C-alpha cells in the first residue's frame, strides 16, 4: 500500500480531523513524507482541512 492510500485509510477511520504528526505516528512513517502526501491529496481534492493544521477526508 502506498503512503497516500495509507493516509486516506487513517483519515477515513478517524472520527475527528488529525494533525500531520498524528497521521505519521499511526502510519509509522516520517512526518515530512506525510506532509508531502497530504499536500498532493489536498490538490486532488481527496483531503480537506476543516481547521488549520488538521486534515480529514470529505465524508
**Reported confidence tier of residue 28, pLDDT bands at 50, 70, 90:** very high
pTM of the model: 0.91
On whether the CB atoms of residues 36 and 9 are closer than 8 A, the answer is: no
Looking at residue 59, its pLDDT comes to 66
Number of domains observed in the structure of the chain: 1
How many residues are listed for the chain in this entry? 59
CA distance 16 to 2: 23
Q: Is a pLDDT exceeding 80 seen at residue 8?
A: yes
Provide the percentage of residues in the chain whose pLDDT is more than 70: 98
Write down the mean pLDDT value for the chain.
95
Q: Quote the domain boundaries for residue 30.
A: 3-57
Q: What is the CATH number of the domain that holds 17?
A: 1.10.10.10
Amino acid at each position: 500500500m502506498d503512503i497516500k492510500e495509507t493516509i486516506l485509510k487513517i483519515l477515513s477511520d478517524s472520527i475527528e480531523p488529525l494533525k500531520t504528526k498524528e497521521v505519521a505516528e499511526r502510519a509509522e512513517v516520517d512526518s515530512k513524507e506525510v506532509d508531502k502526501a497530504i499536500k498532493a491529496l489536498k490538490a486532488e481534492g481527496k483531503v480537506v482541512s476543516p481547521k488549520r493544521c488538521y486534515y480529514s477526508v470529505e465524508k
